[in-house]
Structure 1
Protein backbone atom coordinates (compact mmCIF):
# COMPACT_ATOMS: atom_id res chain seq x y z
CA UNK A 1 0.00 0.00 0.00
CA UNK A 2 1.24 3.44 -0.92
CA UNK A 3 0.47 6.08 1.69
CA UNK A 4 3.26 8.46 0.75
CA UNK A 5 1.42 10.70 -1.70
CA UNK A 6 -0.62 13.49 -0.09
CA UNK A 7 -4.30 13.24 -0.87
CA UNK A 8 -5.58 16.67 0.17
CA UNK A 9 -5.24 20.02 -1.48
CA UNK A 10 -3.10 22.74 0.03
CA UNK A 11 -6.12 24.93 0.83
CA UNK A 12 -7.36 22.98 3.83
CA UNK A 13 -10.50 24.02 5.64
CA UNK A 14 -9.95 25.64 9.04
CA UNK A 15 -12.94 25.34 11.33
CA UNK A 16 -13.97 28.24 13.53
CA UNK A 17 -14.44 27.70 17.27
CA UNK A 18 -17.73 25.94 17.89
CA UNK A 19 -17.78 24.12 14.53
CA UNK A 20 -17.11 20.43 14.03
CA UNK A 21 -16.11 18.28 11.06
CA UNK A 22 -19.24 16.17 10.66
CA UNK A 23 -19.80 15.17 7.00
CA UNK A 24 -22.85 13.21 5.94
CA UNK A 25 -22.58 9.68 4.59
CA UNK A 26 -23.18 10.93 1.04
CA UNK A 27 -20.49 13.61 1.38
CA UNK A 28 -17.98 11.03 2.58
CA UNK A 29 -18.68 8.88 -0.47
CA UNK A 30 -18.87 11.58 -3.17
CA UNK A 31 -16.57 14.34 -1.90
CA UNK A 32 -13.83 12.28 -0.28
CA UNK A 33 -13.81 8.56 -1.08
CA UNK A 34 -14.47 8.69 -4.84
CA UNK A 35 -11.73 11.27 -5.51
CA UNK A 36 -9.30 9.39 -3.27
CA UNK A 37 -10.05 6.13 -5.10
CA UNK A 38 -8.70 7.70 -8.33
CA UNK A 39 -5.81 9.52 -6.60
CA UNK A 40 -7.35 12.98 -6.98
CA UNK A 41 -7.20 15.86 -4.45
CA UNK A 42 -9.88 15.96 -1.73
CA UNK A 43 -11.51 19.08 -0.22
CA UNK A 44 -9.62 19.17 3.08
CA UNK A 45 -6.95 17.50 5.20
CA UNK A 46 -9.28 16.26 7.92
CA UNK A 47 -9.10 12.74 6.45
CA UNK A 48 -5.55 11.39 6.08
CA UNK A 49 -4.03 8.13 4.89
CA UNK A 50 -3.35 5.65 7.70
CA UNK A 51 -2.83 1.89 7.80
CA UNK A 52 -5.25 1.05 10.62
CA UNK A 53 -4.13 -2.59 10.72
CA UNK A 54 -0.80 -1.60 12.25
CA UNK A 55 -2.16 0.12 15.34
CA UNK A 56 -4.70 -0.16 18.11
CA UNK A 57 -7.67 2.23 17.87
CA UNK A 58 -6.67 4.17 21.01
CA UNK A 59 -3.32 4.90 19.37
CA UNK A 60 -5.01 6.41 16.30
CA UNK A 61 -7.52 8.67 18.07
CA UNK A 62 -5.76 11.39 20.10
CA UNK A 63 -6.64 11.78 23.75
CA UNK A 64 -9.49 14.22 24.16
CA UNK A 65 -10.83 13.64 20.63
CA UNK A 66 -14.29 12.17 20.16
CA UNK A 67 -13.67 10.55 16.76
CA UNK A 68 -11.27 10.47 13.82
CA UNK A 69 -11.58 9.79 10.07
CA UNK A 70 -8.97 7.93 8.02
CA UNK A 71 -8.34 6.76 4.46
CA UNK A 72 -7.19 3.16 4.30
CA UNK A 73 -6.85 0.33 1.78
CA UNK A 74 -8.41 -3.03 2.56
CA UNK A 75 -6.13 -6.06 2.33
CA UNK A 76 -7.51 -9.38 1.12
CA UNK A 77 -6.88 -12.30 3.44
CA UNK A 78 -6.28 -14.65 0.50
CA UNK A 79 -5.14 -13.76 -3.03
CA UNK A 80 -8.35 -14.95 -4.70
CA UNK A 81 -10.78 -14.51 -1.79
CA UNK A 82 -13.34 -11.89 -0.87
CA UNK A 83 -12.68 -11.71 2.87
CA UNK A 84 -10.53 -8.87 4.19
CA UNK A 85 -7.84 -8.99 6.84
CA UNK A 86 -9.24 -7.61 10.12
CA UNK A 87 -6.30 -8.26 12.46
CA UNK A 88 -5.04 -4.97 13.88
CA UNK A 89 -2.61 -4.12 16.68
CA UNK A 90 -3.20 -6.32 19.73
CA UNK A 91 -6.57 -7.60 18.52
CA UNK A 92 -8.94 -7.62 15.58
CA UNK A 93 -12.00 -5.87 14.17
CA UNK A 94 -15.23 -7.89 14.10
CA UNK A 95 -18.32 -6.97 12.09
CA UNK A 96 -21.45 -6.09 14.06
CA UNK A 97 -24.94 -5.78 12.59
CA UNK A 98 -25.97 -5.37 8.96
CA UNK A 99 -24.42 -3.14 6.31
CA UNK A 100 -26.26 0.14 5.72
CA UNK A 101 -26.66 1.29 2.08
CA UNK A 102 -25.78 4.87 1.17
CA UNK A 103 -27.67 6.64 -1.63
CA UNK A 104 -26.93 9.71 -3.72
CA UNK A 105 -28.83 11.78 -6.30
CA UNK A 106 -25.72 12.90 -8.18
CA UNK A 107 -25.12 9.76 -10.23
CA UNK A 108 -28.28 9.17 -12.26
CA UNK A 109 -30.01 11.97 -14.18
CA UNK A 110 -33.51 12.89 -13.13
CA UNK A 111 -32.83 12.90 -9.40
CA UNK A 112 -33.35 9.17 -8.96
CA UNK A 113 -31.49 7.98 -5.83
CA UNK A 114 -28.76 5.48 -6.55
CA UNK A 115 -26.75 3.36 -4.14
CA UNK A 116 -23.14 4.50 -4.14
CA UNK A 117 -21.70 2.81 -1.04
CA UNK A 118 -22.08 0.72 2.09
CA UNK A 119 -21.44 1.51 5.75
CA UNK A 120 -20.21 -1.40 7.85
CA UNK A 121 -19.94 -1.28 11.65
CA UNK A 122 -17.09 -3.14 13.36
CA UNK A 123 -16.09 -3.55 17.03
CA UNK A 124 -12.50 -3.97 18.22
CA UNK A 125 -11.69 -7.13 20.20
CA UNK A 126 -8.47 -7.74 22.11
CA UNK A 127 -6.77 -11.04 21.35
CA UNK A 128 -7.33 -13.54 18.57
CA UNK A 129 -10.62 -14.12 16.82
CA UNK A 130 -11.36 -17.38 18.66
CA UNK A 131 -11.14 -15.87 22.17
CA UNK A 132 -11.32 -12.10 22.01
CA UNK A 133 -12.31 -9.58 24.66
CA UNK A 134 -14.87 -6.99 23.65
CA UNK A 135 -13.86 -3.31 23.90
CA UNK A 136 -15.70 -0.01 23.60
CA UNK A 137 -13.95 1.00 20.36
CA UNK A 138 -16.10 1.08 17.21
CA UNK A 139 -15.25 1.65 13.54
CA UNK A 140 -17.59 2.56 10.70
CA UNK A 141 -16.16 1.53 7.34
CA UNK A 142 -17.39 3.32 4.19
CA UNK A 143 -16.83 1.50 0.88
CA UNK A 144 -17.81 2.18 -2.75
CA UNK A 145 -20.32 -0.10 -4.51
CA UNK A 146 -22.45 -0.07 -7.66
CA UNK A 147 -22.91 3.52 -8.89
CA UNK A 148 -20.04 4.69 -6.71
CA UNK A 149 -17.64 2.71 -8.89
CA UNK A 150 -18.64 4.37 -12.18
CA UNK A 151 -15.79 5.99 -14.17
CA UNK A 152 -14.50 9.20 -12.65
CA UNK A 153 -13.09 12.10 -14.74
CA UNK A 154 -9.47 12.69 -13.77
CA UNK A 155 -8.31 16.26 -14.39
CA UNK A 156 -5.12 17.93 -13.16
CA UNK A 157 -5.08 21.05 -10.95
CA UNK A 158 -4.42 23.31 -13.99
CA UNK A 159 -7.40 22.02 -15.98
CA UNK A 160 -5.66 19.40 -18.14
CA UNK A 161 -4.94 15.73 -17.69
CA UNK A 162 -1.62 13.93 -17.69
CA UNK A 163 -1.58 13.57 -21.47
CA UNK A 164 -1.91 17.32 -21.89
CA UNK A 165 0.90 17.96 -19.43
CA UNK A 166 3.27 15.71 -21.34
CA UNK A 167 2.29 17.36 -24.61
CA UNK A 168 3.09 20.86 -23.28
CA UNK A 169 6.52 19.62 -22.27
CA UNK A 170 6.97 18.30 -25.79
CA UNK A 171 6.04 21.68 -27.27
CA UNK A 172 8.55 23.45 -25.03
CA UNK A 173 11.30 21.10 -26.12
CA UNK A 174 10.54 21.51 -29.80
CA UNK A 175 10.87 25.28 -29.58
CA UNK A 176 14.46 24.84 -28.50
CA UNK A 177 15.25 22.61 -31.46
CA UNK A 178 15.13 24.44 -34.75
CA UNK A 179 15.67 21.22 -36.67
CA UNK A 180 12.13 19.98 -35.93
CA UNK A 181 9.50 20.81 -38.48
CA UNK A 182 6.46 23.00 -38.00
CA UNK A 183 4.22 19.95 -38.53
CA UNK A 184 5.61 18.27 -35.44
CA UNK A 185 4.88 21.32 -33.31
CA UNK A 186 1.32 21.46 -34.62
CA UNK A 187 0.85 17.79 -33.87
CA UNK A 188 1.98 18.13 -30.28
CA UNK A 189 -0.22 21.20 -29.83
CA UNK A 190 -3.30 19.30 -31.04
CA UNK A 191 -2.59 16.45 -28.64
CA UNK A 192 -2.86 18.85 -25.69
CA UNK A 193 -6.55 19.45 -26.49
CA UNK A 194 -7.87 16.11 -25.25
CA UNK A 195 -10.92 15.19 -23.21
CA UNK A 196 -10.56 14.26 -19.50
CA UNK A 197 -9.56 10.68 -18.86
CA UNK A 198 -12.25 8.48 -17.24
CA UNK A 199 -10.82 6.14 -14.58
CA UNK A 200 -12.63 3.48 -12.59
CA UNK A 201 -12.28 4.03 -8.81
CA UNK A 202 -10.25 1.52 -6.84
CA UNK A 203 -12.73 -0.33 -4.59
CA UNK A 204 -9.99 -1.25 -2.09
CA UNK A 205 -10.00 2.29 -0.68
CA UNK A 206 -12.30 2.93 2.28
CA UNK A 207 -12.98 5.69 4.81
CA UNK A 208 -12.83 4.58 8.46
CA UNK A 209 -14.49 6.52 11.26
CA UNK A 210 -13.12 5.35 14.62
CA UNK A 211 -14.63 6.41 17.94
CA UNK A 212 -15.19 5.15 21.47
CA UNK A 213 -18.65 4.32 22.75
CA UNK A 214 -19.96 6.37 25.64
CA UNK A 215 -20.57 4.57 28.90
CA UNK A 216 -24.19 4.33 29.91
CA UNK A 217 -25.29 5.51 33.32
CA UNK A 218 -26.26 2.70 35.72
CA UNK A 219 -29.97 2.01 35.84
CA UNK A 220 -31.62 2.77 39.19
CA UNK A 221 -34.12 0.12 40.30
CA UNK A 222 -36.72 1.18 42.85
CA UNK A 223 -36.99 -0.99 45.95
CA UNK A 224 -40.35 -2.65 46.51
CA UNK A 225 -41.91 -3.22 49.91
CA UNK A 226 -43.90 -6.36 50.56
CA UNK A 227 -46.85 -5.32 52.78
CA UNK A 228 -47.90 -8.89 53.54
CA UNK A 229 -44.51 -9.61 55.11
CA UNK A 230 -44.79 -6.68 57.53
CA UNK A 231 -43.06 -4.12 55.35
CA UNK A 232 -43.42 -0.38 55.68
CA UNK A 233 -45.08 2.15 53.40
CA UNK A 234 -43.65 5.64 52.95
CA UNK A 235 -46.11 8.48 53.56
CA UNK A 236 -45.32 11.98 52.35
CA UNK A 237 -46.61 14.81 54.53
CA UNK A 238 -47.46 17.47 51.94
CA UNK A 239 -49.15 19.82 54.47
CA UNK A 240 -46.27 19.56 56.96
CA UNK A 241 -48.69 18.99 59.81
CA UNK A 242 -47.02 18.40 63.12
CA UNK A 243 -43.68 19.70 61.81
CA UNK A 244 -43.05 22.50 64.28
CA UNK A 245 -39.32 22.66 63.64
CA UNK A 246 -39.81 24.12 60.14
CA UNK A 247 -37.42 22.05 58.08
CA UNK A 248 -36.27 23.37 54.72
CA UNK A 249 -37.91 20.54 52.79
CA UNK A 250 -41.42 20.83 51.42
CA UNK A 251 -42.56 17.80 53.41
CA UNK A 252 -41.36 14.95 55.55
CA UNK A 253 -41.21 11.23 55.07
CA UNK A 254 -42.78 9.17 57.79
CA UNK A 255 -42.45 5.41 57.91
CA UNK A 256 -45.39 3.87 59.75
CA UNK A 257 -45.81 0.16 60.31
CA UNK A 258 -48.92 -1.19 58.66
CA UNK A 259 -50.23 -2.93 61.81
CA UNK A 260 -49.80 0.19 64.01
CA UNK A 261 -51.58 2.38 61.49
CA UNK A 262 -54.41 -0.12 61.31
CA UNK A 263 -54.82 -0.15 65.12
CA UNK A 264 -54.96 3.64 65.25
CA UNK A 265 -57.69 3.70 62.63
CA UNK A 266 -59.74 1.10 64.56
CA UNK A 267 -59.46 3.12 67.80
CA UNK A 268 -60.63 6.24 66.08
CA UNK A 269 -63.51 4.35 64.51
CA UNK A 270 -64.65 2.96 67.90
CA UNK A 271 -64.68 6.40 69.50
CA UNK A 272 -66.82 7.77 66.73
CA UNK A 273 -69.30 4.89 67.15
CA UNK A 274 -69.76 5.66 70.86
CA UNK A 275 -70.42 9.30 70.19
CA UNK A 276 -73.01 8.46 67.58
CA UNK A 277 -74.82 6.04 70.00
CA UNK A 278 -75.08 8.62 72.77
CA UNK A 279 -76.35 11.23 70.40
CA UNK A 280 -78.96 8.80 69.12
CA UNK A 281 -80.15 8.09 72.69
CA UNK A 282 -80.58 11.74 73.40
Structure 2
Protein backbone atom coordinates (compact mmCIF):
# COMPACT_ATOMS: atom_id res chain seq x y z
CA UNK A 1 0.00 0.00 0.00
CA UNK A 2 2.80 2.36 0.89
CA UNK A 3 4.75 1.53 -2.25
CA UNK A 4 1.78 2.30 -4.46
CA UNK A 5 1.16 5.52 -2.56
CA UNK A 6 4.71 6.69 -3.14
CA UNK A 7 4.90 5.64 -6.78
CA UNK A 8 1.50 7.14 -7.59
CA UNK A 9 2.81 10.71 -7.43
CA UNK A 10 6.48 10.71 -8.42
CA UNK A 11 8.46 13.91 -8.08
CA UNK A 12 10.16 14.87 -11.33
CA UNK A 13 13.45 16.62 -10.70
CA UNK A 14 15.86 18.18 -13.15
CA UNK A 15 18.69 15.94 -14.43
CA UNK A 16 21.53 15.83 -11.93
CA UNK A 17 19.45 17.35 -9.14
CA UNK A 18 19.56 15.67 -5.71
CA UNK A 19 17.54 16.70 -2.69
CA UNK A 20 20.26 17.12 -0.06
CA UNK A 21 19.07 19.85 2.34
CA UNK A 22 21.02 20.91 5.40
CA UNK A 23 19.51 20.72 8.87
CA UNK A 24 18.84 24.45 8.75
CA UNK A 25 17.10 24.13 5.37
CA UNK A 26 14.82 21.39 6.68
CA UNK A 27 13.71 23.39 9.72
CA UNK A 28 13.59 26.95 8.31
CA UNK A 29 12.40 26.41 4.73
CA UNK A 30 10.23 23.29 5.08
CA UNK A 31 9.16 22.46 8.64
CA UNK A 32 8.26 25.96 9.86
CA UNK A 33 6.21 26.87 6.73
CA UNK A 34 4.40 23.52 6.99
CA UNK A 35 3.64 24.14 10.66
CA UNK A 36 2.19 27.56 9.73
CA UNK A 37 0.29 26.27 6.68
CA UNK A 38 2.37 28.37 4.31
CA UNK A 39 3.53 27.54 0.74
CA UNK A 40 6.60 25.31 0.48
CA UNK A 41 9.61 25.89 -1.80
CA UNK A 42 9.13 22.49 -3.49
CA UNK A 43 7.10 19.30 -3.29
CA UNK A 44 10.04 17.05 -2.36
CA UNK A 45 8.58 16.45 1.12
CA UNK A 46 5.02 15.08 1.38
CA UNK A 47 2.71 14.22 4.28
CA UNK A 48 2.76 10.61 5.55
CA UNK A 49 1.69 8.94 8.78
CA UNK A 50 5.04 7.46 9.84
CA UNK A 51 3.51 5.35 12.62
CA UNK A 52 1.34 3.41 10.15
CA UNK A 53 4.25 1.99 8.12
CA UNK A 54 7.49 0.11 8.39
CA UNK A 55 10.55 2.14 7.34
CA UNK A 56 11.35 -0.11 4.34
CA UNK A 57 7.86 0.58 3.00
CA UNK A 58 8.48 4.34 2.93
CA UNK A 59 11.76 4.40 0.99
CA UNK A 60 11.08 3.80 -2.73
CA UNK A 61 13.01 1.15 -4.59
CA UNK A 62 16.27 2.53 -5.94
CA UNK A 63 16.46 5.28 -3.29
CA UNK A 64 18.62 5.34 -0.19
CA UNK A 65 16.70 7.94 1.83
CA UNK A 66 13.45 9.87 1.98
CA UNK A 67 12.03 12.91 3.79
CA UNK A 68 8.43 13.09 5.04
CA UNK A 69 6.15 15.42 6.97
CA UNK A 70 4.39 13.73 9.85
CA UNK A 71 2.60 14.55 13.09
CA UNK A 72 3.69 13.51 16.54
CA UNK A 73 0.98 11.73 18.49
CA UNK A 74 0.95 12.03 22.31
CA UNK A 75 0.97 8.77 24.23
CA UNK A 76 -1.32 10.20 26.92
CA UNK A 77 -3.72 13.16 26.68
CA UNK A 78 -1.87 15.23 29.31
CA UNK A 79 1.64 13.81 28.89
CA UNK A 80 4.69 14.97 26.97
CA UNK A 81 5.77 11.53 25.73
CA UNK A 82 5.01 10.57 22.13
CA UNK A 83 3.97 7.31 20.53
CA UNK A 84 6.83 5.39 18.92
CA UNK A 85 5.05 2.18 17.86
CA UNK A 86 5.11 1.86 14.07
CA UNK A 87 4.34 -0.99 11.70
CA UNK A 88 5.77 -4.28 12.97
CA UNK A 89 7.95 -2.67 15.64
CA UNK A 90 8.85 0.60 17.30
CA UNK A 91 11.30 3.49 17.07
CA UNK A 92 13.84 3.83 19.88
CA UNK A 93 15.79 7.01 20.56
CA UNK A 94 19.58 6.83 20.18
CA UNK A 95 21.73 9.58 21.67
CA UNK A 96 20.86 13.12 22.70
CA UNK A 97 18.96 15.78 20.80
CA UNK A 98 21.12 17.90 18.50
CA UNK A 99 20.32 21.64 18.39
CA UNK A 100 19.88 23.30 15.00
CA UNK A 101 20.82 26.96 14.59
CA UNK A 102 19.87 29.49 11.95
CA UNK A 103 22.57 31.81 10.64
CA UNK A 104 22.35 35.33 11.93
CA UNK A 105 21.30 38.10 9.55
CA UNK A 106 23.40 41.29 9.39
CA UNK A 107 25.90 39.98 11.90
CA UNK A 108 23.36 38.88 14.48
CA UNK A 109 23.94 35.94 16.78
CA UNK A 110 22.62 32.61 15.36
CA UNK A 111 19.38 31.46 17.00
CA UNK A 112 18.31 27.92 17.79
CA UNK A 113 15.30 27.08 15.65
CA UNK A 114 14.95 23.32 16.03
CA UNK A 115 16.14 19.98 17.41
CA UNK A 116 17.12 16.73 15.71
CA UNK A 117 16.56 13.35 17.35
CA UNK A 118 18.05 10.13 15.94
CA UNK A 119 16.06 6.90 16.32
CA UNK A 120 16.59 3.26 15.34
CA UNK A 121 13.79 0.89 14.29
CA UNK A 122 13.30 -2.32 16.30
CA UNK A 123 11.10 -5.24 15.29
CA UNK A 124 8.71 -6.31 18.03
CA UNK A 125 7.15 -4.62 21.02
CA UNK A 126 8.95 -2.21 23.30
CA UNK A 127 11.10 -2.37 25.37
CA UNK A 128 12.34 -5.52 23.62
CA UNK A 129 12.80 -6.18 19.93
CA UNK A 130 15.28 -6.98 17.19
CA UNK A 131 17.57 -4.17 16.13
CA UNK A 132 17.43 -3.29 12.42
CA UNK A 133 19.55 -1.17 10.10
CA UNK A 134 16.85 1.46 9.60
CA UNK A 135 17.39 4.92 11.09
CA UNK A 136 15.15 7.98 11.32
CA UNK A 137 16.18 11.57 12.06
CA UNK A 138 13.23 13.50 13.46
CA UNK A 139 13.33 17.30 13.08
CA UNK A 140 11.08 19.44 15.28
CA UNK A 141 10.74 23.14 16.02
CA UNK A 142 12.21 24.66 19.18
CA UNK A 143 12.73 28.09 20.76
CA UNK A 144 12.92 30.68 17.93
CA UNK A 145 11.28 28.25 15.50
CA UNK A 146 8.10 28.28 17.63
CA UNK A 147 7.78 32.07 17.76
CA UNK A 148 4.56 33.37 16.13
CA UNK A 149 4.78 35.66 13.13
CA UNK A 150 2.54 37.60 10.75
CA UNK A 151 1.16 35.62 7.82
CA UNK A 152 -0.95 36.97 4.96
CA UNK A 153 -4.45 35.46 5.09
CA UNK A 154 -7.59 36.28 3.05
CA UNK A 155 -10.00 38.63 4.79
CA UNK A 156 -13.50 37.31 5.37
CA UNK A 157 -15.48 38.51 2.36
CA UNK A 158 -19.02 39.85 2.65
CA UNK A 159 -20.32 37.72 -0.18
CA UNK A 160 -18.79 34.54 1.32
CA UNK A 161 -19.43 35.24 5.00
CA UNK A 162 -17.28 33.63 7.63
CA UNK A 163 -16.48 30.71 5.32
CA UNK A 164 -14.24 32.78 3.09
CA UNK A 165 -11.01 31.13 4.26
CA UNK A 166 -12.49 27.64 4.01
CA UNK A 167 -13.80 28.35 0.52
CA UNK A 168 -10.37 29.56 -0.54
CA UNK A 169 -8.85 26.26 0.53
CA UNK A 170 -11.55 24.26 -1.24
CA UNK A 171 -11.08 26.26 -4.43
CA UNK A 172 -7.44 25.25 -4.61
CA UNK A 173 -8.24 21.54 -4.33
CA UNK A 174 -11.44 21.28 -6.38
CA UNK A 175 -11.20 22.04 -10.09
CA UNK A 176 -14.97 21.74 -10.67
CA UNK A 177 -15.96 24.90 -8.78
CA UNK A 178 -17.75 27.59 -10.70
CA UNK A 179 -15.75 30.41 -12.24
CA UNK A 180 -17.81 32.95 -10.28
CA UNK A 181 -16.76 31.43 -6.97
CA UNK A 182 -13.11 31.41 -8.03
CA UNK A 183 -13.26 35.05 -9.00
CA UNK A 184 -14.93 35.92 -5.70
CA UNK A 185 -12.22 34.14 -3.73
CA UNK A 186 -9.45 35.72 -5.79
CA UNK A 187 -10.88 39.18 -5.12
CA UNK A 188 -10.56 38.73 -1.37
CA UNK A 189 -8.01 41.04 0.18
CA UNK A 190 -5.26 39.52 2.28
CA UNK A 191 -4.39 40.91 5.66
CA UNK A 192 -1.54 40.03 8.04
CA UNK A 193 -2.60 37.61 10.76
CA UNK A 194 -0.50 36.51 13.74
CA UNK A 195 -0.06 32.73 13.47
CA UNK A 196 1.63 30.38 15.93
CA UNK A 197 3.34 27.30 14.44
CA UNK A 198 1.82 23.90 15.14
CA UNK A 199 4.51 22.07 17.14
CA UNK A 200 3.02 18.65 16.34
CA UNK A 201 4.50 18.74 12.83
CA UNK A 202 7.91 17.11 12.29
CA UNK A 203 10.13 16.16 9.37
CA UNK A 204 11.30 12.54 9.32
CA UNK A 205 14.46 11.62 7.42
CA UNK A 206 14.45 7.83 6.94
CA UNK A 207 17.44 5.90 5.61
CA UNK A 208 19.28 2.61 5.98
CA UNK A 209 22.63 2.36 7.70
CA UNK A 210 25.59 1.48 5.52
CA UNK A 211 27.33 -1.79 6.26
CA UNK A 212 30.90 -1.50 7.45
CA UNK A 213 33.52 -2.90 5.06
CA UNK A 214 35.72 -5.64 6.51
CA UNK A 215 39.33 -4.56 6.95
CA UNK A 216 42.06 -6.83 5.50
CA UNK A 217 43.63 -9.14 8.04
CA UNK A 218 47.30 -8.67 8.88
CA UNK A 219 49.26 -11.79 9.82
CA UNK A 220 51.83 -11.36 12.59
CA UNK A 221 55.03 -13.36 12.86
CA UNK A 222 57.65 -13.50 15.61
CA UNK A 223 61.32 -14.31 15.70
CA UNK A 224 64.00 -14.66 18.36
CA UNK A 225 66.49 -11.92 19.00
CA UNK A 226 69.83 -12.14 20.79
CA UNK A 227 68.24 -11.33 24.13
CA UNK A 228 65.59 -14.04 23.68
CA UNK A 229 62.64 -11.62 23.48
CA UNK A 230 59.69 -11.85 21.07
CA UNK A 231 59.28 -9.01 18.56
CA UNK A 232 56.17 -8.89 16.27
CA UNK A 233 56.86 -8.80 12.55
CA UNK A 234 54.09 -7.76 10.10
CA UNK A 235 54.64 -9.20 6.65
CA UNK A 236 52.77 -6.77 4.38
CA UNK A 237 54.71 -7.67 1.21
CA UNK A 238 54.36 -11.41 1.36
CA UNK A 239 50.70 -11.49 2.43
CA UNK A 240 48.75 -13.86 0.17
CA UNK A 241 51.92 -15.23 -1.52
CA UNK A 242 53.40 -18.17 0.43
CA UNK A 243 56.56 -18.45 -1.70
CA UNK A 244 57.29 -14.74 -1.41
CA UNK A 245 56.44 -14.82 2.29
CA UNK A 246 58.94 -17.64 2.85
CA UNK A 247 61.68 -15.82 0.94
CA UNK A 248 60.97 -12.52 2.69
CA UNK A 249 60.96 -14.16 6.11
CA UNK A 250 64.28 -15.88 5.36
CA UNK A 251 65.82 -12.58 4.30
CA UNK A 252 64.51 -10.64 7.25
CA UNK A 253 65.21 -13.33 9.84
CA UNK A 254 68.18 -13.06 12.19
CA UNK A 255 71.42 -15.02 11.56
CA UNK A 256 71.47 -18.58 12.81
CA UNK A 257 73.31 -19.20 16.06
CA UNK A 258 75.14 -22.20 14.60
CA UNK A 259 76.79 -20.04 11.99
CA UNK A 260 77.90 -17.67 14.71
CA UNK A 261 79.43 -20.59 16.61
CA UNK A 262 81.32 -21.81 13.50
CA UNK A 263 82.74 -18.40 12.77
CA UNK A 264 83.79 -18.00 16.35
CA UNK A 265 85.47 -21.41 16.26
CA UNK A 266 87.36 -20.72 13.05
CA UNK A 267 88.73 -17.44 14.33
CA UNK A 268 89.82 -19.10 17.53
CA UNK A 269 91.63 -21.87 15.60
CA UNK A 270 93.43 -19.30 13.45
CA UNK A 271 94.46 -17.40 16.51
CA UNK A 272 95.79 -20.55 18.14
CA UNK A 273 97.68 -21.56 14.99
CA UNK A 274 99.23 -18.12 14.78
CA UNK A 275 100.43 -18.26 18.32
CA UNK A 276 102.03 -21.72 17.70
CA UNK A 277 104.01 -20.42 14.79
Structure 1's 105 and 272: CA in aligned 2 closer, same or farther, altered over 3 A?
same
The alignment status of 1:105 with 2:93, answered yes or no, reads no
Unmatched 5+ stretches in structure 2: 1-10, 162-186, 238-242
1:124 aligned counterpart, secondary structure: strand
- Structure 2 CA distance, aligned partners of 1:16 and 1:278? 92
Which residue is 1:24 aligned to?
22
8 A Cα contact 1:235 1:254, kept in partner: no
- Structure 2 CA distance, aligned partners of 1:167 and 1:54? 42
TM-score, normalization: structure 2?
A: 0.70
- Structure 2 CA distance, aligned partners of 1:145 and 1:66? 28
Cα drift, residue 280 of structure 1: 7.0
8 A Cα contact 1:232 1:255, kept in partner: no
Which residue is 1:135 aligned to?
132
- Structure 1 CA distance, aligned partners of 2:60 and 2:136? 15
Structure 1's 112 and 195: CA in aligned 2 closer, same or farther, altered over 3 A?
farther
Cα drift, residue 262 of structure 1: 2.4
After TM superposition, the structure 1 stretch with the greater mean CA deviation from structure 2, 226-235 or 92-101, is: 226-235
Q: How does 1:9-158 map to 2 (within 5 A)?
A: 14-17=13-16, 19-105=17-103, 111-155=108-152
Structure 1's 260 and 204: CA in aligned 2 closer, same or farther, altered over 3 A?
same
Which residue is 1:197 aligned to?
193
- Structure 1 CA distance, aligned partners of 2:38 and 2:233? 70
- Structure 2 CA distance, aligned partners of 1:61 and 1:14? 17
Structure of larger gyration radius: 1
Cα drift, residue 266 of structure 1: 2.7
Which residue is 2:214 aligned to?
218
Cα drift, residue 63 of structure 1: 2.8
8 A Cα contact 2:24 2:101, kept in partner: yes
8 A Cα contact 2:116 2:138, kept in partner: yes
Cα drift, residue 220 of structure 1: 4.7
The alignment status of 1:268 with 2:263, answered yes or no, reads yes
Which residue is 1:163 aligned to?
155
TM-score, normalization: structure 1?
A: 0.69
Unmatched 5+ stretches in structure 1: 1-11, 156-160, 171-190, 239-247
Post-superposition Cα deviations, 1:104-133, rounded to whole Å, max 9, x if no partner, equal 136x88612111100000011111113211
Structure 1's 259 and 215: CA in aligned 2 closer, same or farther, altered over 3 A?
same
8 A Cα contact 1:37 1:205, kept in partner: yes
